Structure 1
Amino acid sequence: MAREIMILQKLDHPNIVKLEGLATSRMQYSLYLVFEFMHSDLATVISRPGGRLTEPQVKCYMQQLLAGLRHCHEKGILHRDIKGSNLLIDKQGVLKIADFGLANHFNPNKKRPLTSRVVTLWYRSPELLLGCTDYGVGVDLWSAGCLLAEMFAGRPIMPGKTEVEQLHRIFKLCGSPPEDFWRRLNLSASFRPPQPYRPLITEAFKDFPSCSLGLLKMLLALDPSCRGSASSALQNEFFGTSPLACDLSGLPVVCKKEDDESNQPHERRKRRSSKLKHQSRTQKETPTNVEQNMMKLEVGDYGRPVKAGARTTYSHELMRSSTGSTTSGMQPQRYSLSTPPALPPVKSPSFREHVVVRPAHSRELGGSSTTGSTSSSPPPIKPSSILEQRTEAHPAATKNVENGPINHRYGMEKRSASTSGFRRFDAKQIPGR
């Protein structure tokens, strides 16, 4: 990543993505590269369902790509991963080269060995497939030639699955390499095709504009020295032939749906508020469970309506069996259930109604014990007695407490004994008794 950051800081061109800054994460010990936001890429534009690119549009994209490559090569940088998904496009249609993770410095006057395990397989040049470690700007120009043909065809032209298959596809399209090709690149003769192939670029791309065939043959040359440079490619007659390259306004821009919505916060809030209003209106119109039960009470058995204001009985057919299931040999028994009487209104109990006073302590509390009488009401209880009566919850909880109120010198907040200790405590052992 350090090399990628240095390369991005060295490059400054309208057709190369700009490094805005770096972001670090102290929690994950990670480093993030911050770039300008781009809406789409060339691969998405090529594969869009709207149709193929026109010749002026292809020329405009190709000019931007070659201009960015020319700047990279002039700065002594090889991209080594040119493909459609690495060519980003903003909302105005400007193409920018991105993803310099495989890029490296090179010096044509002072060559050094470089790895051949670069560039995506479909856009990899033949010298890289053959394991060459001495290469230059030709690897980027080969990828640009593959993209030129892909923009006209609407699909990749050489989608190989393996390196051997990719080599055979290249030889069938571009022909067999000459003898000096193997000798100049110092390659083994075992990689030579079993039979010679003749070039078929003209026949394979006969539907392409005739002015584009010359540039395609130059960029897809098997010999890297015959591919020229990005500057020479920009001077090709392909860009000077009518129709000329279109303006940025004439380019198709494919934006994702979520990107469009992110730029319209007002519309998104408006849709969200209308959705909430619709949900609240639906909830108001939907009957509640109580209303549904009331509606059921107004309908008789099997959906027969009940006359309003009449005293009606509800008939239910119940089947009795040992297993609870209905059998064909049993006759259903009909039960008539009268309308249940109205229940009295529920009264909220007061604090005094929750206090339970046992008859055994009635003499200490100032009352008289009565058994079997339901009409007599319990005597009034003083607030101090309520605090002293600590065993109101369980009927048998007063067995371990002596009769009579206990005046403990400690307050309620001081008595924090455990449950088992509270049940076994002796009132005589309390200090101050």
Structure 2
Amino acid sequence: VSGRPVGREERKGEEVGRVSKRSEKGEEVVRDGSNSQRVEEEKAEEEEAAAAAAAAAAKARAKRRSSRPNPRLSNPPKHVHGEQVAAGWPSWLSIVAGEAISGWTPRRADSFEKIDKIGQGTYSNVYKARDTLSGKIVALKKVRFDNLEPESVKFMAREIKILRRLDHPNVVKLEGLVTSRMSCSLYLVFEYMEHDLAGLAASPAIKFTESQVKCYMHQLLSGLEHCHNRHVLHRDIKGSNLLIDNGGVLKIADFGLASFFDPNHKQPMTSRVVTLWYRPPELLLGATDYGVGVDLWSAGCILAELLAGRPIMPGRTEVEQLHKIFKLCGSPSDEYWKKSKLPHATIFKPQQSYKRCIAETFKDFPPSSLPLIDTLLAIDPVERLTATAALNSEFFTTKPYACDPSSLPKYPPCKEMDAKLRDEEARRLRAAGRANAGVKKARPRDRAARAIPAPEANAELQANLDRRRLITHANAKSKSEKFPPPHQDGTLGYPLGSAHPIDPGYDPPDVPFSTSFSYSNKAPIQTWSGPLIDSSAVGAPRRKKHMSGDGHSHSKSTKKDKNSTRI
């Protein structure tokens, strides 16, 4: 049998058998492959579930951290805190504001000699001082803290972080920090600037030329351009916060209300910022989602103010401020009201529409300035464009060009506080003159006067109340009153003066009701950066008399501050 040739059919049967065996093995391989794929899918699902659980845990931890005090400022590690305390920083400051002071060494308060007080606010005082080590004249901003409240320290820490981020010739430079062992205070050291724009503008002997206005505005917009490029909103542009040195250089100062912003990921912010006369309509209407337009509106008010010689919209209340804005800039369209969805839109919406009359009101301004003012004072913040666009406008590219800062006149030191002192002295002399003349008001009239607050006092009081309320309630909302109908618009109280003679026909002639401006032949000197208390005004509160030990009566008065609301 061995050696017998294999037939064709037998060989074919063997091949079929081998194929069937291979097919069985192939099925097993396929079966094994499907099992491994199922295992991999289950493993991937388990990994996804673990990742989701980890993300949920991280979110829960972040939520717990956000519920702690000072969510925006992370406390430094213990070793960093120890290093800062060893370097001389107070422990309470390192705990709350460790990130703001990181890398800096504190100066001692006794290394500076105070020369004079040059500014005052609700939460800070500013002094002219001399550095005893270098002999350099500096400005010291003393920040007070009430019982070391974390909220107060947080505001100061944010201001320091913002100042450290900015570096521009038209932005004030923070040169150092000073601590005091005797009190819970912190001093911010700045370069000394001899003037501020409000003080110069309030001086009766100073009137700016067109080229000088262009010089100041170019520096202001350049500083704002730098701030906005670094994602910083100033939120309190006004004359008293624009410092000027003897070389004519303007620097933006006082970043106490400033805030960081991200144009791509907007976060809600408070609307209770910017001094009332320079506050844009969207903030008056309660907007919490805003951007660089708030600073550009204030810059537009400053530009028109410098050219007009007086503030253009000095409202006493939020309602009156909106009233003045709509009279000058026109009331928003129905489309704007629907699109904006502002919280106070239904409350403040006027009963009739107003025509925009910027060109008619400012017809005596340089023609090249009108398009820029019209853009900066646009009701819709999107139409105000940017500081860069403003710098490229026709106003700066036509003659007369902006003069060089070094060619500006040299003025004696002049700040807003000096203007206040001049006003107080003038009122004191007027009061003394009336007393010597034997003039005495009738009792019923005196009572009526006391019942009507002076416009300046009203605005001052509102600003202070807003500031105190918002330091404890960061998200407080303003209590608004209904927009007054046109026939009820009028003025009660003392007439507002102007720094320079202005034609009483300044307001638009087509407005069918009286404005809140009234004028007298003897207009008092008026500063530009906000309302001031006029003790001689009709309705100003009388001073209380207190008897001293020598039997003489002395009047006692309190000073108020008009700074904007902190968030």
Q: TM-score range by the shorter chain?
A: 0.5 to 0.7
Flag the 1:226–1:37 CA change in 2: closer, same or farther, 3 A. Answer: same
Query: Structure 2 counterpart of 1:145, which letter?
Result: G
1:349-364 to structure 2, matched below 5 A, reads none
Task: Specify which of 361, 365, 368 is matched with residue 211 of structure 1.
Answer: 368
Task: Specify which of 109, 117, 122 is matched with residue 264 of structure 2.
Answer: 109
| Residue 221 (structure 2) aligns with | 66
Q: Tell me, yes or no, if structure 1 residue 201 matches structure 2 residue 358.
A: yes
5+ residue gaps in structure 2? 1-155, 416-567
Flag the 1:241–1:257 CA change in 2: closer, same or farther, 3 A. Answer: closer
| Residue 411 (structure 2) aligns with | 254
C-alpha distance in 1 between matches for 2:231 and 2:339: 23
Q: Is the 8 A contact 1:52 1:153 kept in 2?
A: no
State the SS of the aligned residue for 1:21.
strand
Q: Is the 8 A contact 2:301 2:377 kept in 1?
A: yes
C-alpha distance in 2 between matches for 1:191 and 1:175: 14
Report the CA distance between 1:189 and its aligned residue: 2.7
Query: Structure 2 counterpart of 1:232, which letter?
Result: A
| Residue 238 (structure 1) aligns with | 395
State the SS of the aligned residue for 1:184.
helix
| Residue 44 (structure 1) aligns with | 199
C-alpha distance in 1 between matches for 2:288 and 2:169: 31
C-alpha distance in 1 between matches for 2:371 and 2:356: 13
C-alpha distance in 1 between matches for 2:410 and 2:306: 15
| Residue 420 (structure 1) aligns with | none
C-alpha distance in 2 between matches for 1:167 and 1:253: 38
C-alpha distance in 1 between matches for 2:274 and 2:194: 24
| Residue 143 (structure 1) aligns with | 298
C-alpha distance in 1 between matches for 2:382 and 2:410: 36
C-alpha distance in 1 between matches for 2:187 and 2:394: 43
Report the CA distance between 1:45 and its aligned residue: 1.7
Query: Structure 2 counterpart of 1:124, which letter?
Result: R
1:325-340 to structure 2, matched below 5 A, reads none
State the SS of the aligned residue for 2:218.
helix
State the SS of the aligned residue for 2:368.
helix
Q: CA RMSD in A?
A: 1.3
Task: Specify which of 148, 153, 166 is matched with residue 308 of structure 2.
Answer: 153
| Residue 165 (structure 1) aligns with | 320
Q: Is the 8 A contact 1:45 1:252 kept in 2?
A: no
Query: Structure 1 counterpart of 2:266, which letter?
Result: K
C-alpha distance in 1 between matches for 2:181 and 2:326: 52
C-alpha distance in 2 between matches for 1:23 and 1:165: 42
Q: Is the 8 A contact 2:243 2:250 kept in 1?
A: yes
Q: Tell me, yes or no, if structure 1 residue 92 matches structure 2 residue 211.
A: no
C-alpha distance in 2 between matches for 1:95 and 1:185: 35
Report the CA distance between 1:257 and its aligned residue: 8.2
| Residue 159 (structure 2) aligns with | 4
Query: Structure 2 counterpart of 1:156, which letter?
Result: P
Q: Is the 8 A contact 1:83 1:147 kept in 2?
A: yes
C-alpha distance in 1 between matches for 2:299 and 2:310: 14
C-alpha distance in 1 between matches for 2:250 and 2:408: 10
State the SS of the aligned residue for 2:398.
coil
Which TM-score applies when normalising by structure 2?
0.45
C-alpha distance in 1 between matches for 2:227 and 2:414: 33
Flag the 1:250–1:50 CA change in 2: closer, same or farther, 3 A. Answer: farther
| Residue 68 (structure 2) aligns with | none
Alignment length, in residue pairs? 258
Report the CA distance between 1:4 and its aligned residue: 0.3
State the SS of the aligned residue for 1:38.
coil
Report the CA distance between 1:54 and its aligned residue: 0.6
C-alpha distance in 1 between matches for 2:335 and 2:187: 47
Answer 1 or 2: which has greater helix percent.
2
Q: Is the 8 A contact 2:177 2:189 kept in 1?
A: yes
| Residue 299 (structure 1) aligns with | none
Task: Specify which of 273, 277, 299 is matched with residue 118 of structure 1.
Answer: 273
C-alpha distance in 1 between matches for 2:223 and 2:306: 18
Task: Specify which of 224, 238, 260 is matched with residue 381 of structure 2.
Answer: 224
Query: Structure 1 counterpart of 2:365, which letter?
Result: F
Deviation digits for residues 319-357 of structure 1 (CA, Å, limit 9, x no counterpart): xxxxxxxxxxxxxxxxxxxxxxxxxxxxxxxxxxxxxxx
Report the CA distance between 1:254 and its aligned residue: 2.9
Task: Specify which of 163, 175, 196 is matched with residue 330 of structure 2.
Answer: 175
Q: Is the 8 A contact 2:369 2:395 kept in 1?
A: yes
Q: Is the 8 A contact 1:42 1:84 kept in 2?
A: yes
Q: Tell me, yes or no, if structure 1 residue 29 matches structure 2 residue 29.
A: no
C-alpha distance in 1 between matches for 2:281 and 2:326: 9
1:377-392 to structure 2, matched below 5 A, reads none
Q: Is the 8 A contact 2:194 2:414 kept in 1?
A: no
Identity %: 66
State the SS of the aligned residue for 1:107.
coil
C-alpha distance in 1 between matches for 2:337 and 2:348: 9
Report the CA distance between 1:185 and its aligned residue: 1.8
Q: Tell me, yes or no, if structure 1 residue 192 matches structure 2 residue 335.
A: no
Deviation digits for residues 341-394 of structure 1 (CA, Å, limit 9, x no counterpart): xxxxxxxxxxxxxxxxxxxxxxxxxxxxxxxxxxxxxxxxxxxxxxxxxxxxxx
Report the CA distance between 1:190 and its aligned residue: 3.1
C-alpha distance in 2 between matches for 1:128 and 1:257: 31
Query: Structure 1 counterpart of 2:184, which letter?
Result: Y
5+ residue gaps in structure 1? 259-433
| Residue 18 (structure 1) aligns with | 173
C-alpha distance in 2 between matches for 1:35 and 1:108: 30
Query: Structure 2 counterpart of 1:122, which letter?
Result: W
| Residue 375 (structure 1) aligns with | none
Q: Is the 8 A contact 2:179 2:185 kept in 1?
A: yes
C-alpha distance in 2 between matches for 1:181 and 1:40: 41
C-alpha distance in 2 between matches for 1:220 and 1:166: 14
